[in-house]
Amino acid sequence: MTAPVLTIDGPGGAGKGTISRLIAERLGWHLLDSGALYRITALAALRCEQALDDEAALAALAAGLDVSFLPGDSGVRVILDGDEVSGEIRTETVGDAASRVAALPRVREALLQRQRDFRQAPGLVADGRDMGTVVFLDAPLKVFLTASAEERAQRRYRQLREAGLSANLTSLLKEIQARDARDTQRSVAPLKPADDAITLDTTRLTIPEVVDRLIELLAQRGLAPNA
């Protein structure tokens, strides 16, 4: 039997990463942070000063990434070419570059099978923007998380401030709005809910409330009977 998959798609700042990790930990399932793969590709491109509009070169770079995900005390550790880049790939600079890289069809094709290979027993929580619409079309539960752009900017602002980094709320909001526009308007795998996805607005919900709701949905489908 094919391992079950919970896909969690949505725009940046909707809480997908934290919620996906918590559900995977609670169920003992594998975790795919697909956005990290695009961020890693973007970081690798920035490190070697590769132009972000050279599709062929970026696709080759994506196909040859030396990357791994390891468990850590505060989340998933991302290793690129032997170096931990967990924090570096979360910067706004890399995030903006990742959004540009992700719009390139050949880059997406290069990373497609790598993402599907994460599907292993007992199950997989797949976090991204096209997990339910492209990568795992047969997933038994697809969720689309969203939140207002203003709320997502506030969350990012608090996250940066708590990490001791400077941040400008107005700039963050503009960056989020620009990224949303790119993600929803790109020609390949645009950001949108799958036809059979459940949409959940997290603007006024806490992370534990969202996690409990998704676990409940899995249980209703017989996918997490012991959760």
Strand order through the sheet with 75-80: 67-72, 75-80, 83-84
For residue 190, cis peptide bond before it (omega within 30 degrees of 0): no
The predicted pLDDT at position 137 comes to 96
Annotated binding residue at 14?
A: yes
Distance separating alpha carbons of residues 54 and 52, to the nearest angstrom: 6
Residue of 140 and 103 predicted with greater confidence: 140
Annotated binding residue at 3?
A: no
Q: Which H/E stretch holds residue 141?
A: strand 141-146
- What's the pTM value of the predicted model, to 2 decimals? 0.83
Q: Is 59:8 a contact under the CB 8 Å cutoff?
A: no
Q: How many CB atoms lie within 10 A of CB 57?
A: 16
Residues 106-145 pLDDT 10s: 999 999 988 998 999 999 999 998 999 999 999 999 999 9
* Residue 110 structure tokens: 């290069």
What percent of the chain shows pLDDT beyond 70? Answer: 96
Annotated binding residue at 128?
A: no
Annotated binding residue at 17?
A: yes
Annotated binding residue at 15?
A: yes
Burial letters for 97-134: b for 16+ Cβ neighbours within 10 Å, e otherwise? Answer: bbbbbbbbebbbebbeeebeebbeeebbbbbbbbbbbb
The predicted pLDDT at position 227 comes to 61
pLDDT average, residue stretch 6-21 = 92
Distance separating alpha carbons of residues 17 and 168, to the nearest angstrom: 22
Annotated binding residue at 12?
A: yes
- Domains (range + CATH), the chain: 5-209 (3.40.50.300)
